[in-house]
Amino acid sequence: MPRPRVPVGTFGDIWTEPAGRGRTVAKVWFRDEDGRRRQLSAAGASAAEARRRLKEKVTTVDRRLSAAAEITGDTAFPEMVDYWLADLDAEGELAPSSRQRYEWEVRHLVLPAFEHLRLREITVGRVDRYLKRQRQFSYARAVHSRKILSLVMGLALRLEAIDRNPVVGVKRLKRPPQAPMAIDAAELDVIRRAVATWRRGKGYSGPPPDGQLEAIIEVMVGTSARIGEALAIRVQDLDLDASPPTLRIAGTIVSPKGAPTFRQDHPKTAKAVRTVAIPSFTAEALRRRLDEVGDLPLGHLVFFSRNGTPLTTANVRRRLREALRDAGVDVVTPHTFRRTVATVIDRAAGTDLAAELLGHTSTAITKLHYIEPDERVNPRTAVILEALAPRLGSDPVSQEAQAAGERGGTREGGDVTAEVRSSMGAARYLRARRRR
């Protein structure tokens, strides 16, 4: 006789196993809402810690399973939001910073508009009017609002609480015309001088800048790295003795709300993990930086605070903004350097190489958001169009005019005016044929 299945949502007994490097992993089987057996696991420095972390996961999943049975069309939207956030935690696929951003956006951008409605009352019309109001603030706000609301309502659809996702029926938001802005070599030198002279000399209180900002700029310009990726570079990621020197981008800096800043061991996407050859000015800036800090462990960050902790992206952005403001330079951010690199590579070698260097999965993203449009048309067109130049001796009007002038303005069989009128008639015929 087959063994009876345990009810949906039931968990088995927790057991532990060694995970290597002195760590322990705790595991448990449970029957998910689709009837399938799945395994949860959590690791810790000890068996007790691993068990504690696993029990926290079990509690989250148990809450999700219990709530799923109660989500219907009459469920209040705030309850659906809480369930959606718990589902994100149960999946555990989002980076901490993304998870915090999602919660902030749903509570501040979306929830105030629908907090008094039930799921079945959130219609396409209501969503359309809501997004139009958000669009009046900004295109970016409307896009973020639409994305988050679609995720929440998409989960409600999968739970069969509603028959359709009302966000899908809304008209697509039209992006306002805004071309990416890059800077040229002369403007980049102005920025370099502004940063190099910022808060140096007499009249400034406190210690002078430590020179890291200058090196960080050279890294971003020479690699296309995002600001977080540049700050996450470790000593082991550099090979400055290679020919050409190389740098591996394999992490980013994250500053979770209410928690210390740390290095995340993967960048924004899997494609963003890349090893790039760096130009001489970037290699020289990194050599100077390593000479200044002395011998460091291979796993140590190249850029760090006076306390040895990771630099925050917000702090570096603020320092760059202040340095450029004092020099009268505006509208330049760390991402401007990334757009500049994309534009320079595109002009010299094409969009494919630019996308590869930036770590993009699609050249469309690179072209739309990072490459400054070039209004100059390829000068080869002038050479090609020479084929339409007047042929030598093939201008009958000018030839006849010259001949008539030599004969005193008349010629046999008519005059110059008649010839010109005939030519004008031919031109009108050509224009009429082109319109057809």
For residue 340, the model assigns a pLDDT of 93
Reported as a single tens digit per residue, the pLDDT across 319-374 is 999 988 887 877 788 999 999 999 999 988 999 999 999 988 888 888 878 888 87
For residue 413, the model assigns a pLDDT of 46
Q: How far apart are CA 391 and CA 202, in angstroms?
A: 72
Residue 339: closest CA among 361, 358, 318? 358
* Start-end of CATH 1.10.150.130 domains in the chain: 77-169
For residue 410, the model assigns a pLDDT of 47
pTM of the predicted protein model: 0.63
For residue 68, the model assigns a pLDDT of 56
Is 1.10.10.970 the CATH number for 77-169? no
Name, in order, each residue with C-beta under 8 angstroms of 357's C-beta and a sequence gap of 6 or more: 223, 224, 274, 276, 341, 342, 345
**What pLDDT tens digit does each residue of the chain (436 aa) get?**
566 666 766 778 888 988 777 788 899 887 776 677 778 888 888 888 888 888 888 777 766 655 555 788 999 999 999 999 998 988 888 877 788 899 999 999 999 999 999 999 999 999 999 999 999 998 889 999 999 999 999 999 998 899 999 999 898 888 776 677 888 888 899 999 999 988 887 777 778 888 899 999 999 999 999 999 999 999 999 999 999 999 999 999 998 888 889 998 888 877 788 999 999 999 999 999 999 999 999 999 999 999 999 999 999 999 999 988 887 877 788 999 999 999 999 988 999 999 999 988 888 888 878 888 877 888 889 988 888 888 866 555 555 555 555 555 544 444 545 554 555 555 555 555 555 5
Which class does domain 185-369 fall in? mainly alpha
Residue 175: closest CA among 368, 360, 367, 372? 368
Query: At CA 87, angle to CA 85 and CA 89, rounded to 5?
Result: 75
For residue 45, the model assigns a pLDDT of 84
Residue 272: closest CA among 225, 308, 310, 317? 225
For residue 6, the model assigns a pLDDT of 64
Q: How far apart are CA 215 and CA 278, in angstroms?
A: 13
Asked if 227 and 313 count as a contact pair (C-beta separation under 8 A), the reply is yes
| Three-state DSSP class for residue 26 | strand
Half-sphere exposure of 203 (CA within 13 A, CB side): 3
100 φ/ψ sector (left φ>0, alpha ψ -120 to 50, else beta): alpha
CB-CB neighbours of 11 under 10 Å:
17
For residue 75, the model assigns a pLDDT of 93
For residue 207, the model assigns a pLDDT of 80
* Start-end of CATH 1.10.443.10 domains in the chain: 185-369
For residue 163, the model assigns a pLDDT of 93
